[in-house]
A and B are shown apart, each in its own frame.
Chain A
Amino acid sequence: MARKGNPPFSSEDIRSTDLVRAYRVHEQILKYPHLMGEIRELFLSVLCERELVCGESIRGDALALLEALGEPSEERAIKEVTGILTDVYFAHHLSREDVENHINLVRKREAFRILTKLMNSEGATSARIRKAVKEFCAVPKGSLYIQPGESMGVRVGLLSRFISDQLPFLGVAKNHITIRDMDELMERIIRNPRREGRIGGKSAGMFLAYKIILPALGPIDPEFEKYVRIPESYYFTSGFLTDFLDTNDLFWLHSQKYKNLETIEEEFSQICETIERASFPSDVIAQFRDFLEQVGGHPLIIRSSSLLEDNVGFTFSGKYDSVFIANQGDLDTRTAEFTGALKQVLTSVFSPRAILYRKDHNLLDFDERMSILVQKVVGRRHGDYFFPTAAGVAYSQNMYAWTQRIVRSDGLLRLVFGLGTRAVDRIGPDYPRMVPLSHPLLRPEVSAEEIKKYSQRLVDVLELRSNSIVTIAATELFQSSGCPDLYYVVSAEKEGHLAPPLFKTENIDWFSGCVTFDNLLSKTPVAGLLKRILHQLEEAHGRPVEVEFAWDGGILYVLQCRALAVSGLVGKVSIPEAIEPQKVLFTCSSVLFSSAVKDIEYIVYVDPRAYAAISTFEERIAVGRTVGRINRLLAGKKYALFGPGRWGTNDVEMGVKVSYEDINRTKVLAEIAVRDIGARPEPSFGTHFFNDLVEANIVPLAIYADSPGTVFREDFFRDSPDGLAALDPHSPPEAIVRVINVPACTEGQYLQVYLDGELQKGVGFLSRFEGSHGGVGFNNLH
């Protein structure tokens, strides 16, 4: 054979096998006659790159061959023979697979050129683009790809056209979502016949996360490949709900957000009824029926996926509804359930809480279009119930570190048995398992009694018969469900000794059991997988992330991923050293992250003892309303809110029931634990309520008033003159909620709050005006 610098071609070099190989290559090339030149050009460049031939030597070989054949050395003949020789040499030096890969690369380039042209032409319809993507993907993937630098423009074009045009999303997604991924995604997009639309933030976040974890190109962690999936998902574009509003003449709803909050609140129930009465067009209903027939009778979750949702800084945690449907029975029933769920999700766009959230984040003017993510619910049927073995929220940064041994950057899980709804809401006297991923089995409780007290007692499951989420006692579920995975979930107590089962068939006294997940954390790879996933996602996003997940049947499902606005972890706050002891109002020894809030003018104090003494539910609810009213009165003022137990709980025994809009103007939200009156503050990191605080730059803190060494100047909070009347002369005096005008009571001093997350120390003290601008919170700490 003619190698670079070798003597010319000689017949002894040719073996019969080479002839067969060369014939086959030629046959393959002939399938794409219009690409023949480009293919041979590529072959030749590969041969030259590998120094197997060079352009001159192959030309020399061609000339020698023509001479041997007794043919004239015309340029056309030289070109023809050079081509033949290129095939022969390529076939000789490279494998059949290489040959195929190179031919396919040329085909991909051709399809890519068409796609690029289309993406850059003005009037290209989505349908034409989808067709072009499909044609590109019809070429086998092979092992040779178009360089990312070349494909980036097309990737960005496709992402912004079909998924989301939010720049922070595009900046990350373009590096991870390939054209083939887009094809995979588009297979699952369900489009409205009249209206185009994108698939929204939640869908985008989940798909992106999946592609970061399991990239189409590049190395893959073999454990991820084995264990990690996303649930079967379908993306209904925003076109469906736009079409729904149009066909029912409900476009006026888009202006609802500009009304004042009281009107929005008043009119909301009417909007709910209006949407309930409205109907989807018949062709769309037919589309839904086809879809439901295709997915079969598996429970579904209908989730909002608005265009704003889950973008960096605006997670809309819990603002829009997600609705579970059992999806059982005949097709008519299932279709009715499905459309009802879609309407419910749509209705939540116009809810006061969603509009207030948008108002607070200056997002009102953005034309919010809701798309819908429909997923098969992760889990299995156990009797009449449907639920996964475990679910929860995972954080790449652990802000719940009760000991310095815990590595914050390894992340944290809030883990629950059953549906993950219990992990994202702040629910009653119930506790998810908090798992520091640096030390998964470490927990702050030690004795069996403590572990049982701070464990999950209630489980959310989907009851198929009634098509509803029901909450049932864990012990009842242990006994009745026959769920084989209880081995991973439960520990049982025997005469004071709490331990997970030793083997799967162990006979357990279920009534003595409690949810610990000890075996899940020690005998499955779930903790290690999530730790690595969180690292990978945080690295890709360049920010801390939050991932909703479920574990069932030995598979880890990624349900959602959000990049968080929290960046406070990297900041440093030093607590002033020379604070006079009499100026200290409180100290705390458990600090979620570093923060400093300066020059607080007002304190709103819900007296824990007075709150505990309230005997009726109604009176306790009224306290929450008072807090909300004061919150509105203090608009424009800098205030800190102190109260018993857990803020935002839905159990009034555990703390004051408030929602985000009742506390959105405070700078500090303090939870006071007083022994034997009220609950202890719960590490609520990971709940929707906590996310609201983070985004609104509200600093949460917990004061364990009875702990040794803790200062809590109850006398100051209780006995300082009440300043409510000065703010609102019409307000009736409040016995339980007090408003303290700090400078007025302290000869011109202000409350200063410093929290040092590294040293786990915090202090609130009085001093003269320090002159800051809003203090140091989550978002402005870098």
Chain B
Amino acid sequence: MVFQITASLLDACVLSRLSRSDTYGYELTQDLRESLQVSESTLYPVLRRLQSSAFLKTYDVPHQGRNRRYYAITESGKKQLDEFRNDWKTYRSRIDSFLGSDA
């Protein structure tokens, strides 16, 4: 992929995934890696950032004798996600007006 994914897009994708269900770091990474070219260590800074902006919260669930940290979207995270989706729609239609095959 020649187009680089930006920080905001990653934020949006993570929030979108979390809006479907809570999940933990590994699963989140693998889910994103199904469609995005991100390394295994890309999401830690993203999660940190989202958490410090209070867009997501965490809770620990015991799993096979250890704790697994789950990430969940907050109310302000949902608002942010809506904003991201609107911005993305605008952005996509603008790019499409130049680049789209049926432009």
Are these two chains actual partners, yes or no?
Answer: no
Which of A's residues lie within 8 Å of B, judged by CB?
none
